[in-house]
Copies of this chain bind each other. A is one copy, B any other.
Amino acid sequence: VAEFITVDNIEDLAAGAAFLGTGGGGDPYIGALLCREALERYGPVRLLPLAEVRDEDALFTTAGMGAPTILLEKLLSLEDADSSVRALERHLGRAATAMIAAEIGGINATLPIAYSAMRGLPLLDADGMGRAFPQLQMCAFNAAEISCAPLSLADEFGNFAIIEADTAHKAEELARSLVVAFGASATMSCYPMTGAQAKVGAVAGSMTAALEIGAAIRERSSDGDPVSRLLDVLRRQPLYGHAYRLFDGKIVELQRDTTRGWVVGTCEMAGLDDTRRCLVKFQNENLSAEIDGVLHAIVPDLITIVDLETASAIPTESLRYGQRVVVVGCSAPRQLRTPRCLDLMGPAAFGLHQQYQKIEHLALELNQQLGVPDASELTQRETN
């Protein structure tokens, strides 16, 4: 397990975070670029295991909020991130002793790394989701009753806001309105917490998971298919475990609307070797995967569209007509599958009509229907 994030492993982390971002969170290479500069300038960032955080530590998050498309155009800067974190520190009258990522997906996994480097602070090997989600209340911190507010938002012109809200839903609503007024993107710091709170609410080990997943994607091994290698590594992850190659195909339909600070739409793929069709719905992040109308995976389980040749995750805004891709699904971290979390970030929270079913149950059921003999391996994995 890595003890530091350095210029040598930052690309791995960014590639892993892009996978865990399940389509959301923007281009990982832009995030990696920002990190590389910061790590070169300020030195490595120490990864602090969740178990080693002190109860009295003051943890702060830093993240971009807004449609990834716009975040990319405006390119988050460390100065903007600093503006929002410092505003929240002043408001609370306490300074950060460590940073924690709100989500392990996309640039919101990498921004805290660059920022920790600049501030010379350790970064927790943990986050608030074990993946990425488009709204503030969709967070394990919230499920653990850690308050999303006070939160701060800042733009690149020195404008900022502090919001106090009695629920994370209200914080999301108020912050979203401001993000739109800030020009559809802003940096923010939310869920300020103590070490003691993080131990209860955070998803442990997700930075390490991103590093390992990214390494699997980046390795140029000679032994065949990169997607199989990715699946093998996912299956060894304590946070994920159940991983499936859901669909091989090429993109034949794309619908994307940028609205209220999100990218909302669908991606449809046609099978490479068959006539099947796969439909992935997204709101920044991918929400569900259906093949010929049959559900194969649904949020909060992870659905990522990866490049067929490289296994690199393709962010929602980089999907292109004709791309040859694989739809990979894997199980969500255990703590996202509780009833409380399913209320916050299950299908109904996104307006989907399907009930949540664990990806491994869906797979088992489908294999049984198809009479696939070797379903035993799936049954053995029923430990999550």
Write the residues of chain A forming the contact surface with B, with a CB cutoff of 8 angstroms: 87, 91, 157-166, 170, 173-174, 176-178, 180-182
C-alpha spacing A287/B158, complex, angstroms: 33
A182-B178 contact given A159-B165, A161-B163, A163-B161, CB 8 Å threshold: no
Nearest chain B CB to A6 CB, angstrom units: 36
The 8 closest A-B pairs by CB, nearest first: A177-B181, A177-B177, A162-B162, A159-B165, A161-B163, A174-B181, A160-B164, A173-B181
Residues on the B chain within 8 Å of A91, using CB: 91, 162
Q: Are B174 and A166 closer than 8 Å at their CB atoms?
A: no
CA distance A166 to B164 in the complex (A): 21
Indicate which residue in B87, B157, B177 contacts A178 across the interface (CB closer than 8 Å).
Answer: B177
- 13 A-B residue contacts at CB 8 Å? A91-B91, A157-B170, A158-B164, A158-B166, A159-B166, A159-B174, A161-B162, A161-B163, A174-B181, A177-B177, A177-B178, A177-B180, A178-B178
A157 to B165 alpha-carbon distance, docked (Å): 9
The answer to whether A161 touches B158 (Cβ under 8 A) is no
The interface residues of chain B lying within 8 Å CB-to-CB of A162 are 91, 161-162
Count of this chain's copies in the oligomeric assembly: 2
Alpha-carbon distance A41/B161, docked complex (angstroms): 35
Contact indicator B174/A161 (Cβ below 8 Å): yes
Neighbouring B residues of A178 by C-beta, 8 Å? 161, 174, 177-178
Q: How far is the CB of A52 from chain B (nearest CB, A)?
A: 35
| Given A181-B174, A181-B177; A157-B161 close (CB under 8 Å) | no
With A91-B91, A181-B173 as known contacts, state yes or no: A161 contacts B161, CB within 8 Å. yes
Cβ B170 vs Cβ A176 within 8 A: no
**Smallest CB gap from A149: residue in B:** B159
- Provide the residues of chain B in CB contact with A166, threshold 8 Å: 157-159
Chain B residues, Cβ within 8 Å of A87 = 164
- 8 more CB-based (< 8 A) A-B contacts, given A160-B164, A174-B182: A157-B166, A159-B163, A160-B163, A161-B161, A161-B162, A161-B174, A177-B177, A177-B180
Q: Contacts of A174 on B, CB cut-off 8 Å? A: 159, 161, 178, 181-182
| A181 to B169 CA separation, bound complex (whole angstroms) | 12
Inter-chain CA distance A176–B177, complex, in Å, is 9
Cα A170 to Cα B156 with chains together (Å):
13
A181, B173: Cα distance in complex, Å: 6
Contacts of A161 in B (CB 8 A): 161-164, 174, 178
A159–B161 alpha-carbon span in the complex (Å): 13
Closest beta carbon of chain B to A128's beta carbon, Å:
21
| A158 to chain B: closest residue by CB | B166
Give the CA-CA distance A160 to B157 in the complex, in Å: 22
